[in-house]
Amino acid sequence: MSGIAFAIQWVRSLLFVGQIYLMMPVIGLVFAPWAMFSRNGARICCKTYSRWVFWTASWMVGIKTEVRGTPPTGETLIASKHQSFLDIMMIFTALPAAKFIMKKEILWTPIIGQYARLLNCVAVDRGKRGAAIEKMVADVASGQQEAGQLIIYSQGTRIKPGVKAPYKVGTGVLYEQLNQPCVPVATNVGVLWPRKGIMRYPGVAIVEFMEPIAPGLRRDVFMAKLEHDVEARSDALMGEAGFDPDGVH
């Protein structure tokens, strides 16, 4: 990308980022009377906002979105690669009843935090992750949480493309205790929509729902398979976007 082309793309990216943050409270407030009394209303609000982002990304910065594989519709655990805000929206929009395990601090984020509460997301205290997982498992078992697709980011945070980070044991604990299939999800979105900064790059952002891992594996076997499958497929998807994961050191 030449200097002039880069400058034009940066300006387009600035306008894009500005308008999506402007539209977040607008759409959130429009749907608020429904969302406050209906979890379905909260879901539709979040999906409406996500689709607005997808649509404007396609013509403002040249990012197309694509979901591959078969998103699950039943009660299941989803363990995903996490690279930027975009993969959150893409996964959520592809599922009928998604809820996230997320950092407790997000609950205090305007609009996002309020809707996370309405969607019954599970807030995890970073310093007390084990206790939070135990409470979540107990809530599911007692029927306090609505059935749906529970999404966990196994590395715990957004990871820059090409950077290696460990998979945290919380995913393995959930897999064991919930005794549900686990659907791995790979992505390349961080190549086009970095976790930090203004610049957005044109291309096809992909999230791919992979073959479920059946319940019953030993925790260490499950974690090794999950990490291998997600990392290998994410590297392949990043390669499709023109990124060489092995070139980052």
Model confidence over 28-48: pLDDT tens digits? Answer: 999 999 988 999 999 999 999
Which pLDDT does position 249 carry in this prediction?
41
Beta bridge partners of 122: 101
What is the per-residue burial (b if ≥16 Cβ within 10 Å, else e) of 106-119?
A: eeeeebbbbbbebb
Is 173 strand, coil or helix?
helix
Euclidean distance between CA atoms 155 and 72, whole angstroms: 21
pLDDT at 123: 76
The reported pLDDT for the residue numbered 103 is 79
d(CA 107, CA 138): 21
* pLDDT value at residue 145: 62
pTM: 0.91
pLDDT at site 223? 97
Q: What is the mean pLDDT of each run of 10 residues along the chain (249 residues)?
A: 90 98 95 91 95 98 98 94 96 94 80 84 70 65 69 92 92 90 97 95 98 96 97 96 72
Residue 141, pLDDT score = 61
**In what order do the strands lie in the sheet containing 98-103?**
63-69, 203-209, 182-187, 76-80, 149-153, 98-103, 122-124
37: helix, strand or coil = coil
Q: What is the pLDDT of residue 231?
A: 97
Give me the count of residues in the chain. 249
What superfamily would CATH give domain 65-242?
Glycerol-3-phosphate (1)-acyltransferase (3.40.1130.10)
Which pLDDT score, from 0 to 100, does residue 125 have?
A: 72
Q: Report the distance separating Cα 110 and Cα 116, nearest Å.
A: 10
